[in-house]
Amino acid sequence: MNISTPQNTNELSAYLKKVWEYPILSAEEEQKLLQHYHNTHCQIAAEKLITSHLRLVVKIAMEAKGYGLPVADLIAEGNIGLLKALHKFDPSKEVRLSTYAMWWIKAAVNDFILKNWSMVPLGTVSAQKKLFFSIRRIKRELDIMENGELDHAQAQAISEKADASIQDVHQINNRLQGRDHSLNAPLAEDTTSQHQDILEDECPTQEEWLADKQQTQLKKKAVGAALKRLEGRDREIVKARYLAEEPLSLKELGQRFGISSERVRQLEVRALETIGGFLKKHMTYRQLCHEPT
C-alpha cells in the first residue's frame, strides 16, 4: 500500500490539514476492519486503518523535529513504521492498533534520526541510543542549560539518572550541540572558503619526523641489546609475540615448545621483566646510540 506523504515543506501544510480530516475509528469499527484485513488482506480495510492513524505518525514526528531533520522526512519514515505495524499486528490481542503501532512508528523515526544526524555513526549500543533520545529531557529535569559543555558534576548527575557512563554522557551531549558538516561545505553563503580550509595540519613537521625516527632507532637498539640477555626459548617467545609480522598466540607457542599456554605466559612475563630491568639498569642514552645490536 502506498501512502502519499509530503515531499517538501510546500506540501507539508496541505498534508497536515488532510490528515486531520480522516475520521478516528471506534474500537468496534477498528476490530472489524482488522479482522477483515487479517483474513483477506483487503486494501480498502488497510487504507481505512492506516488513514485513521496518520495523525499519530504526525504527532510522533513533530515530537522529534527538535533534532533538526525535515519534518516531511520524519513523517515519511513514521508512515513506513505504521505500515509494518499493521502487517504484523495480531487482531486476537486485546489491544488497540495505536498502542501497538506507536512503538513501530517511534522505532522507524528514531532509526532515521540516528542514521542521518551525523556523518559519523553514533554506534549500535542500545544504551547510547536510549541516552541520545532522553538526554535533553533529563537536562531539563535537572535544570541544566541545553547549550554548552557539561562540567563533571552535571555529567555525573545525568549519568546516574540515565544509568549511563559519564563518557557516553559527554559523547552524546557533544554530538547534540551541533551536527557535522562536510569538509567541502562553505563557511558562509558569501564566501568560497570551505571548512577544510581552516583545519589544522596534524602532520608532523620535518623536525618532529626526524626526532621520531631517531627515537624509533634507539628503541630498536635497546630491544636488540636486551634480547641478547635472554635464554633461547624466552627470546623466541618475545620475538614471536611482539616482533613478528603475525604474532603467535600462547596456544600456538605452547604447541611449538611442547608446554602449556600458561607456562608460555609465565615465560613471557619473566622475559619482559628481564628486558625492562636491563633497560632501566644498564642502558644510557649514549649506549643506545652506539652499542651495536
Complete DSSP assignment for 61-101: HHHTGGGSS-HHHHHHHHHHHHHHHHHH--TTSSS-HHHHH
CA distances from 271 to 4, 8, 68, 108 (A): 71, 68, 57, 55
Name residue 193's amino acid. S
Structural domains of the chain, with CATH? 9-117 (1.20.120.1810), 126-176 (no CATH), 206-290 (1.10.10.10)
Query: pLDDT tens digits, residue range 98-142?
Result: 999 999 999 999 888 877 765 445 554 567 777 777 777 888 888
Looking from the CA of 53 toward its CB, the CA atoms found within 13 Å total 27
By the 8 A CB rule, do 119 and 182 touch?
yes
Q: How confident is the model at residue 188 (pLDDT cuts 50, 70, 90)?
A: very low
DSSP 186: B
Instruction: Choose the weakest-confidence range: 39-53, 77-91, 144-158, 170-184.
Output: 170-184
- Given a cut of 60, whether residue 289 has pLDDT beyond it is no
CA distances from 203 to 8, 184, 199, 206 (A): 43, 20, 12, 9
pLDDT at residue number 78: 93
Residue 272 to residue 283: CA distance in whole angstroms: 15
By the 8 A CB rule, do 288 and 218 touch?
yes
Predicted model pTM = 0.48
Instruction: Choose the weakest-confidence range: 97-106, 188-197, 204-213, 259-268.
Output: 188-197
By the 8 A CB rule, do 129 and 110 touch?
yes
DSSP per residue over 204-215, as a string?
PPHHHHHHHHHH
Q: How confident is the model at residue 22 (pLDDT cuts 50, 70, 90)?
A: very high
pLDDT at residue number 138: 84
